[in-house]
């Protein structure tokens, strides 16, 4: 991978970027891979009667094959979508509704309170359509208890949705064990894999999961492209209708440059995953230890070992959340929770037992591919200075 030609943000007197779970910059090699498909090879991948279209279709086919090969599956099992929100909606609404029409009645669904809103909201829509929904509370470390999941199954349970890694606290769920419980009961399993794919060393070809959601912009790819990976022959109804692209499951003109960029970003992310995982883990430990030295009463949110290496989520007691974030904003780009929570106290931290005030006074710090040791040292200084100042006020 080429080094970015840009100067690290900290040296540009911009806020130090520690919010790489919200999104990532597009990698230069990804931009280069996409470039010809904006103007030189601009055909519609569905225009099979002309050379421009065939050229675009070939590029989509190569990208699809490449993504499928990472999972060891056939390429028809990759459905390109606009991102993970759409992939989640398609899997959850599409499969639950298909099952209801097969069974002649809605069924029961299981998820975790700490899922992303792109999972919770479609499931709550299904609840409005007559399905029953169980939202399990995780243990205080953010992990799903397998006993609790086993107890939650009912005769009518048709679908379970549990994410691979949490977008706020980075906690890794035991997907293999969850999959075993679902398999034993003949229940379908969906997993939002957005934060784990390309970041956590998963054995992708042995994941026994029926529906997986992916997004390119969390792995240094373009925004606006993702995929639903269908790992089974399970029934799935479309949630929109049109020209029949993507096997009629996701109609619409294919965004060829974004698809090419997605495959390139995935290739790069899987290539440097192990090195990045270990390097960022060390940096994250340095960040935590440095902050702990200066703010000994800080609280860590989520499991410390079953956690993405580039995530740290802490609560700072004795400070007001809005003041903490206001003071940090000019110097550090981080967040108190999910980017999609619109400033509300994090539902994830509340599910872990934090109060609304504690949730607001929390920092999600997520490291990126090019985060340096110097940036970590700067972050420790900046955060602890701000906390000290607020505590003296």
Ligand X SMILES: Cc1ncc(COP(=O)(O)O)c(C=O)c1O
Report the catalytic residues.
340
Rounded to whole angstroms, how far apart are CA atoms 304 and 141?
A: 8
Contacts of 237 (CB under 8 A, 6+ apart): 93, 94, 95, 97, 98, 101
Q: How far is the CB of 258 from ligand X (least distance, A)?
A: 11
Which residue, 192 or 210, is less far from ligand X as judged by CB? 192
- Name which of 80 and 382 has its Cβ closer to ligand X: 80
Measured CA distances, 119 to 26, 56, 69 (Å): 25, 32, 26
User: Of 215 and 336, which has the nearer Cβ to ligand X?
Assistant: 215
- Whether 376 and 283 have beta carbons less than 8 Å apart is answered as yes
Interface with ligand X (CB under 6 A): 83-85, 116, 118, 163, 167, 192, 194-195, 215, 226, 339
Instruction: Map residue 20 onto helix, strand or coil.
Output: coil
First-last CA distance in the chain: 47
Q: Which of 68, 305, 72, 95 is closest to 191 using CA atoms?
A: 95
Closest CA to 219 of 262, 260, 256, 254: 262
Indicate the residue among 107 and 302 with the shorter CB distance to ligand X.
302
Contact between 56 and 43 (Cβ < 8 Å): yes
**CA–CA separation, 381 vs 393, rounded Å?**
19
Query: Whole-number minimum distance, CB 257 to ligand X, in Å?
Result: 16
Dihedrals φ, ψ of 281, to 5°? -65, -45
What one-character DSSP code corresponds to residue 26?
P
Q: How far apart are CA 336 and CA 346, in angstroms?
A: 7
CB of 122 to ligand X, least distance (A): 11
Shortest Å, Cβ 202 to ligand X: 15
For residue 328, how many other CB atoms are within 10 A of its CB? 23
Q: Are 72 and 96 in contact (CB under 8 A)?
A: no
Least CB distance from residue 48 to ligand X, whole Å?
29
- Name the residue with the smallest CB distance to ligand X: 83
45 or 84: CB nearest ligand X: 84
Residue 155 C-beta: closest distance to ligand X, Å: 30
Kindly tell me which of 291 and 308 has the beta carbon lying closer to ligand X. 308
């Amino acid at each position: 991978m080429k080094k970015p030609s840009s100067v690290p943000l900290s040296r540009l007197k911009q806020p130090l970027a520690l919010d790489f779970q919200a999104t990532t910059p597009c990698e230069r090699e990804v931009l280069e891979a996409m470039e010809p498909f904006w103007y030189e090879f601009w055909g519609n991948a569905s225009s099979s009667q002309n050379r421009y279209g065939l050229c675009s279709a070939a590029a989509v086919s190569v990208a699809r094959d490449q993504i499928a090969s990472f999972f060891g599956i056939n390429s028809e099992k990759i459905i390109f979508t606009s991102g993970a929100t759409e992939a989640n909606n398609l899997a959850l609404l599409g499969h639950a509704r298909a099952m209801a029409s097969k069974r002649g009645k809605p069924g029961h669904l299981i998820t975790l309170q700490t899922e992303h809103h792109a999972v919770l909201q479609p499931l709550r829509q299904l609840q409005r359509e007559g399905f029953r929904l169980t939202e399990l509370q995780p243990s205080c470390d953010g992990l799903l208890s397998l006993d609790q999941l086993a107890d939650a199954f009912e005769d009518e349970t048709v679908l379970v949705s549990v994410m691979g890694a949490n977008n706020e606290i980075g906690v890794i769920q035991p997907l293999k064990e969850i999959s075993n419980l679902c398999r034993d009961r003949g229940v379908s399993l969906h997993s939002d894999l957005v934060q784990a794919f390309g970041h956590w060393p998963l054995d992708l070809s042995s994941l026994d999961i029926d529906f997986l959601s992916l997004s390119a912009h969390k792995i240094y790819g373009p925004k606006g492209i993702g995929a639903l990976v269908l790992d089974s022959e399970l029934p799935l109804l479309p949630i929109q209708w049109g020209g029949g692209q993507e096997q009629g499951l996701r109609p619409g003109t294919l965004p060829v440059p974004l698809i090419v960029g997605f495959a390139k970003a995935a290739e790069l992310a899987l290539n440097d995953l192990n090195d990045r995982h270990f390097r960022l883990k060390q940096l994250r430990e340095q960040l935590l230890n440095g902050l702990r030295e200066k703010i000994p009463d800080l609280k860590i949110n989520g499991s410390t070992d079953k956690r993405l290496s580039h995530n740290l989520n802490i609560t700072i007691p004795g400070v007001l959340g809005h003041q903490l974030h206001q003071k940090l904003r000019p110097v550090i780009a981080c967040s108190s929770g999910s980017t999609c929570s619109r400033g509300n106290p994090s539902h994830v931290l509340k599910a872990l037992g934090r109060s609304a005030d504690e949730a607001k006074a929390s920092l999600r710090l997520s490291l990126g591919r090019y985060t340096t040791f110097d940036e970590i040292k700067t972050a420790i200084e900046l955060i602890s200075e701000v906390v000290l100042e607020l505590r003296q006020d």
